[in-house]
Amino acid sequence: MPGTPDISGLSLLFGDPDDYFQPPGPPSFESFTTRSNRTLSLRLLNSHPLWGHRLSNSGKHVADFLEENREDWCRGKRVLELGAGAALPGIIAALNGAQLTVITDYPDIELVENIRYNVEKNIDDPRGKVIVEGYLWGNSPESFLPGEKFDVLILSDLVFNHSEHAKLISTCKKTLCREGKILVSFIHHRPYKQAEDLRFLVLAEEGGFEVEKIYESKMTPMFEEDRGDWDVRATVHGYVFTWKK
């Protein structure tokens, strides 16, 4: 893909050591069973500095939430997922009646092509219903923005990326329609950086959004070897952002 950004050195952006990620190898697969008892197969990259090789707990929780609340969050909606990874929430939105689902992540060809693979394997004839795009937060969304802005934005497990908070809020403001809503789900993977994670909520309020907490749930921590309180690392937090009246 011409002009695709170089992802070398991204470990520095997220505070990971240079040798944290293993050399590329064969992908792995993880199954996810929906509330309606459909089994999805998600291909995961072998190793990636943007976590394209993991199916996040936040993503699993968002998938269940979207299916359980499909009438309010999916049916007939224009949906945008940012930082999609394996794209489980976006796929769930499409399967539950979204009018249009646009699934985006960092414009690295391996990451974007893996999302396309997961869409094609799990959605019958996604043409016209699902669009997959590489996208840098903060940039113009013109290439994938439909005639109208989106009714629903999905942000799953993104707030750990502290340096990009302002760009992420900027994208939300550019893409959300006035009556739309944003589903934000995250885990404090690094308990000692909770304050930095929560700064995202403050920036959202400063940017013109109402912020409401809607759920809190515990799952087994994704990274057992990480340091910090187990309960903090196990807790999935869910928020809804809407425009201030």
Cα–Cα distance for residue pair 44/53, rounded to 1 Å: 5
Run of H or E including 201 = helix 194-206
The string of pLDDT tens digits covering residues 113-122 is 999 999 999 9
Query: What pTM did the predictor assign?
Result: 0.88
- Give one word for 228, left, alpha or beta, with left for phi > 0 and alpha for psi -120 to 50: left
> Domains of the chain (ranges plus CATH)?
28-243 (3.40.50.150)
The string of pLDDT tens digits covering residues 60-83 is 999 999 999 999 999 999 999 999
